[in-house]
Structure formats: C-alpha cells, structure tokens
C-alpha cells in the first residue's frame, strides 16, 4: 500500500483532530456612543443615517434593517415588530428614544437599499469619518454593549432585546472597560 492513502484512516484522524482544536473567540470590536454620533453627523444620505441608528440603538441585524416595513413600527405603542429575524424568529422590541426623536423616519421605510449595498456604504462611511474599518454588525455589538455598560441593562434584558435564545450568546457583549475596572478597584480615587 505504499503511495496510497487510506481514506478511512485519514477521515478518523481529521475528525479526532477537529475535536481537539478549540475555536478562538474574539471580543467583537465596538464603537462608543460619541463615535457613533460623530459617524451619524457625517453621513450624507438620510436612509443610511436611519439604517445606522436602527443598527446601533435598536441592535438590529442588517437583514432586519433592510426588511423593516412601516407597518412593523408602532409609534403609538413604542414597539418595533421584527418579522422573520435570524432563525426565522419574530420578536418585538421597544423603540429607543433616539429613534423616536428622528421625526418622519417612517417615510424612509422600507429602505431603498439592499443588504450588500448597505454594508458597503457603512464600511466606506466608517473609513471616511472615523478612520476605522468596521462592519455593519459592529453597530449591533456596540449597541448591546452600550445598553449593558451605559444604560445598565441586565444581561437577560439585552438577551431578549437581541433575540438570543441562549444567554451565553449574549455574554460576548459583557465588555469590561479597563477604566471602569480601575474605578471599581480604587473607588474612583486617583493613584
């Protein structure tokens, strides 16, 4: 059998090796609210501004933003109905005060922009305004982190808001700001 490869043995070796290799979990890159506001201030197209606000303050996925219809937004009840989100799940989320302050945003829905076009526009806007190479999904990560760290929501509230079925999926948003850690250790005292 010289020169020949035993396919069964190779398959077993590969399967066994795959069990032992752990995937590296990276902390998602985020932007803070002040950076987000600078981004919004520099965006020229109103429908892009709205899409980014939905991504950050509503923590919506790019597909959810693109598929949002005026009939899914209930200003009287302060609710957005997200239909057929990831995994075909529906969820209702509260409308943020920041979105509600965007008068007339309903007339921009549905967005006249596809998923890929919106992702490209976001990437270009971030490079131009923030000098950062970011993805649209960064908005969702940033918004979730904002609600946990700034608004002091608990992890379960953020889980429901994001539509995660498992709490451990939401735990990736529990970034600890090194400055907050120092304040916790030293009680805000200067060293």
Q: Read out DSSP for 47-68?
A: HHHHHHHHHHHS---HHHHHT-
Residue 96 has pLDDT above 60, yes or no: yes
In which band, very low, low, confident or very high, does the pLDDT at 62 lie, cut at 50, 70 and 90?
very high
- Which two structure tokens, joined as six digits, stand for 44? 């020229």
User: Structurally, how many domains does the chain consist of?
Assistant: 1
Looking at the DSSP assignment, which residues form a beta bridge with residue 91? Answer: 82
Task: Compute the distance between CA of residue 163 and CA of residue 80 in angstroms, rounded to an integer.
Answer: 13
Structural domain span for residue 61: 33-186
Strand order in the sheet with 91-94: 73-74, 79-82, 91-94
In a domain, 99, yes or no: yes
Residues annotated as catalytic are 61, 86, 137, 140, 164, 173
In a domain, 151, yes or no: yes
- Residues 137-173 have pLDDT tens digits of 999 999 999 998 899 898 899 888 898 878 877 777 7
In a domain, 25, yes or no: no
Other C-beta atoms closer than 10 Å to the C-beta of 84 total 11
Residue 12 has pLDDT above 80, yes or no: no
In a domain, 20, yes or no: no
In which band, very low, low, confident or very high, does the pLDDT at 10 lie, cut at 50, 70 and 90?
low
Q: What CATH number corresponds to the domain at position 138?
A: 1.10.443.10
- This prediction has a pTM of 0.79
């Amino acid at each position: 059998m010289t020169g020949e490869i035993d396919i069964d043995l190779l398959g077993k070796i590969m399967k066994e090796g795959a069990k032992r290799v752990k995937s590296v979990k990276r902390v998602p890159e985020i932007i803070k609210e002040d950076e987000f506001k600078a981004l919004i201030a520099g965006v020229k197209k109103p429908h892009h501004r709205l899409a980014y606000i939905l991504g950050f303050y509503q923590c919506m996925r790019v597909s959810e933003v693109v598929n949002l219809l005026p009939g899914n937004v209930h200003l009287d009840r302060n609710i957005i109905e997200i239909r057929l989100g990831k995994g075909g799940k529906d969820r209702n989320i509260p409308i943020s005060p920041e979105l509600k302050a965007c008068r007339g945003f309903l007339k921009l829905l549905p967005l006249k922009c596809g998923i890929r076009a919106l992702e490209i526009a976001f990437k270009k806007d971030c490079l131009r305004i923030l000098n950062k190479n970011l993805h649209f999904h960064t908005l969702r990560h940033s918004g979730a982190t904002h609600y946990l760290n700034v608004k002091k929501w608990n992890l379960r509230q953020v889980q429901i808001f994001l539509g995660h079925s498992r709490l451990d999926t939401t735990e990736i948003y529990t970034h600890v700001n090194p400055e907050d850690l120092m304040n916790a250790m030293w009680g805000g005292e200067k060293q």
